[in-house]
Amino acid sequence: MGNCCVTPKTDHEENKKKHKKKQNPFSIDYGANYQNGGHKLSVLKEPTGREIEQSYLLGRELGRGEFGVTYLCTDKESGETFACKSISKKKLRTAVDIEDVRREVEIMKQLPKHPNIVSLKDTYEDDNAVHLVMELCEGGELFDRIVARGHYTERAAAAVTKTIVEVVQMCHKHGVMHRDLKPENFLFANKKETSPLKAIDFGLSVFFRPGMSHEGERFTEIVGSPYYMAPEVLKRNYGPEVDVWSAGVVLYILLCGVPPFWAETEQGVAQAIIRSVIDFKRDPWPKVSDNAKDLVRKMLDPDPKKRLTAQQVLEHPWLQNAKKAPNVSLGETVRARLKQFSVMNKLKKRALRVIAEFLSVEEVAGIKEGFQLMDTSNRGKINIDELRVGLHKLGHQIPDADLQILMDAVSITLNLVLCTL
């Protein structure tokens, strides 16, 4: 999407729009059409039913994203608890948005039951929303669990990496490219020490034809989270190898607490990814085993043809002997970095929640486009006073506490989180 603050359109501009002969189906505002009494939007091909309330009792909110809200829900008959992701149809503005939801459901249905992939139980669709009833994961996020344990070792990092790559292998085997592998998309099923780690989000995943060569089916859409994108994604010519790269980034973070490719702006991060220079000098890398560093190098090979496949990663000596990996603590510095990284991700989520709560889709788009107007010095960042004034000009009165949350997230997550939504 665009940048951030826009001036209102004139009547003349609006009239010009109305007299356009053709309309791009990918730009049709399906949400507005639906709200204005147009056709009833149908998203899912074969939902379980229409009225989720007949079978489930929706409870407290568990999380909130750009398109919807996740609630705790209880099966009225069995009393079993699940997570219900409710996607508002008002948020599905284009054909692309609608297709994304359909594809996510199809992918979750097609993937076989796996101990490390969250399962989809039921799907419902009414006039206002699409409801996905999924396995509930109450064990918390990956980094939070690591930080809480205190003693963190290379062996623990190997166990987590093995799980993540097994998920990648399963997806690729069944023709699914995840495209958004990152620590936040993995949760523990429960609070037990032995709890399995589960992949929870397939919102950016796509089908591909497995078994094809590197010159086979290619994708061009730039999607994912900046830190974890492979070079070929930025070059708009990629295949399933991107998932191994993202898993390699996660492994690097697990071993040292910071991303391998970092900068203060998204452009800087992209340039660092293209350069693909890996730093093995900073603490704790000197005390990390050579086998671990070798696997990182091979997963982060900028040439997808030379990069290891998921199967080859699992066959690497470091993961083959995961239980024999060094059990010496990686140090308090790594643990502290992981805690900071976790805080950064939580701030970003809070920022998204504030945006979703106070602003409509149209208002968010307007703020992004106006960001450049606020950023008079072209620094790629704005201060809280500039943000307050810019929002005020657009007629948005956001409380200072929530404004500060936005500013914290902006400054910590690449200084431009508002422009990455």
CATH number of the domain within which 393 lies: 1.10.238
**Does one domain contain both 348 and 278?**
no
Report yes or no on 91 lying in a domain: yes
CA nearest 91: which of 60, 115, 67, 121? 67
Classify each residue of 71-102 as buried b or exposed e, where b means 16 or more C-beta atoms within 10 Å of its C-beta: bbbbeeeeeeebbbbbbebbbbbbeebbebbe
Token pair of 46 as six digits: 């074969």
CA nearest 249: which of 226, 228, 230, 268? 228
**Does one domain contain both 125 and 238?**
no
Report yes or no on 1 lying in a domain: no
**Does one domain contain both 409 and 289?**
no
Q: At which of 79, 103, 134 does a domain end?
A: 134
Task: Report pLDDT for 220.
Answer: 93
Question: CB of 29 within 8 A of CB of 93?
Answer: yes
Higher-confidence position of 167 and 214: 167
Higher-confidence position of 415 and 334: 334
Tens of pLDDT, residue by residue over 261-304, are: 988 777 888 999 999 999 999 888 998 999 999 999 999 999 99
**Does one domain contain both 228 and 362?**
no
**Does one domain contain both 167 and 311?**
yes
Confidence of residue 397 (pLDDT cuts 50, 70, 90): low
Report yes or no on 153 lying in a domain: yes
Tens of pLDDT, residue by residue over 342-387, are: 666 666 666 655 655 555 555 555 555 555 555 555 555 556 676 6
For residue 278, what are the domain limits? 142-330
Burial class of residue 396 (count of CB atoms within 10 Å of its CB; 0-12, 13-18, 19+): middle
Report yes or no on 130 lying in a domain: yes
**Does one domain contain both 186 and 279?**
yes
Q: At which of 330, 350, 374 does a domain end?
A: 330
Q: Report the number of distinct structural domains present in the chain.
A: 3
Angle (nearest 5°) at CA 272 between 271 and 278: 155
Averaged pLDDT, 292-317 = 96
Residues assigned a catalytic role: 180
Q: At which of 108, 134, 160 does a domain end?
A: 134
Question: CB of 260 within 8 A of CB of 279?
Answer: yes
Q: How far apart are CA 416 and CA 409, in angstroms?
A: 8
Confidence of residue 153 (pLDDT cuts 50, 70, 90): confident
Task: Report pLDDT for 420.
Answer: 41
Please state, in angstroms and as integers, the Cα–Cα distance from residue 251 to each residue in 162, 200, 285, 310, following that order. 10, 18, 13, 13
